[in-house]
Amino acid sequence: MTESLVAIDSLIVFAVSLLIGALGIYLGAKVVVDVEDYTYAIVTALIGAIIWGVVGLFLGWIPLLGPALVLLSYLAVVNWRYPGGWIQAAAITLLAWVSVLVVLYVLAVIGVTGFDAVGVPGT
């Protein structure tokens, strides 16, 4: 019984974290490229998290180059999913990161969640 509760708890944490990460991408995309589609942001966050994890698993261990390749792969996902180019993708990612940090900080202060989210690197 306890294992099933842990699994359910993990799924809830993943879903909430993904929604928070997608909110960051949504806000970044809205400001940078004027795209307002939260469902699209959720899919982008999910794909980004998967790519981040896979590239991190296989290349993240390489000193200096590994983390850069992981970040570049995440930026490639954002660049692929949203109009513009690499600069817009970087701007969307930066705004997503900042907005997620703000949301997570507020949620952590009121005791709702920890300080992490799925779909936005470094949170």
pLDDT of 26-49, one tens digit each?
999 999 999 999 999 999 999 999
**Looking at residue 114, what is its pLDDT?**
64
**Looking at residue 93, what is its pLDDT?**
94
**Looking at residue 91, what is its pLDDT?**
97
d(CA 92, CA 96): 6
**Looking at residue 110, what is its pLDDT?**
83
Q: How confident is the model at residue 117 (pLDDT cuts 50, 70, 90)?
A: low
Distances (CA, A) of 63 to 51, 66, 101: 19, 6, 26
Percentage of residues in the chain having pLDDT higher than 90: 59
Rg of the chain (C-alpha set): 15
pLDDT in tens, 51-85: 999 999 999 899 999 999 999 999 999 999 999 99
**Looking at residue 113, what is its pLDDT?**
66
Q: What is the pTM of this model?
A: 0.84
d(CA 77, CA 100): 18
**Looking at residue 121, what is its pLDDT?**
67
**Looking at residue 17, what is its pLDDT?**
82
Residue ranges of domains in the chain: 3-118
Sorted by sequence, the CB contacts under 8 Å of residue 78 that are 6+ apart come out as 25, 44, 48, 89, 92, 93
Position 115, amino acid: F
